[in-house]
Amino acid sequence: MEKLTLKSSGFKDGGMIPAKYTCDGENVNPLLEIRNVPEGTMSLALVVDDPDATGGGVWDHWVVWNIEPGTQYILEDNIPHGAIQGKTSFGSRRYGGPCPSKGSGTHGYRFKLYALDMMLDLSDEAGKDALEREMQEHILAEATLTGLYKKD
């Protein structure tokens, strides 16, 4: 079976993320394409984070779970029907685009997709840490798409 994949028409893996999808632009999520979801998947989860954040920790930009396993596209500026958005490091429950500190260099933003063997019973007050705890031992496959961004 082919490996779970996550792609975007907005940027290539390892490429620069257009300003449109950042705090310097429209701050909307890019179109994401999901392929090769493994058999037995009950739900998908998506985490977008910045391990290069200047505060010393990882900054969470988007946390979404209970995405239908048949979902092939997450449309731009949209979340899939029925999916739940959790809390980000911004303190909100929505996509927060790349927004590195001026002069902090190029940051790598990881769009991490997980195929899970269960639906998750989490409050929308939950963040990435709670999501990762709940997902443990339920991950069938994962895929990562990395985009880069730097403030001018």
Q: What is the pLDDT of residues 50-88, one digit of tens each?
A: 999 877 789 999 999 999 999 999 999 999 999 999 999
Indicate if the alpha-carbon torsion angle 137, 139, 145, 151 is positive or negative.
negative
Percentage of the chain beyond pLDDT 70 is 99
Rounded to the nearest 10 degrees, how much is the dihedral formed by the CA atoms of 133, 138, 143, 146?
Answer: 0
Q: For position 152, what pLDDT does the model report? A: 77
CATH architecture of the domain covering 5-149: Alpha-Beta Complex (3.90)
CA distance 17 to 38: 28
Task: Please give the structure tokens belonging to residue 19.
Answer: 């300003």
Q: For position 51, what pLDDT does the model report? A: 94
Contacts of 126 (CB under 8 A, 6+ apart): 63, 86, 87, 134
Domain ranges of the chain: 5-149
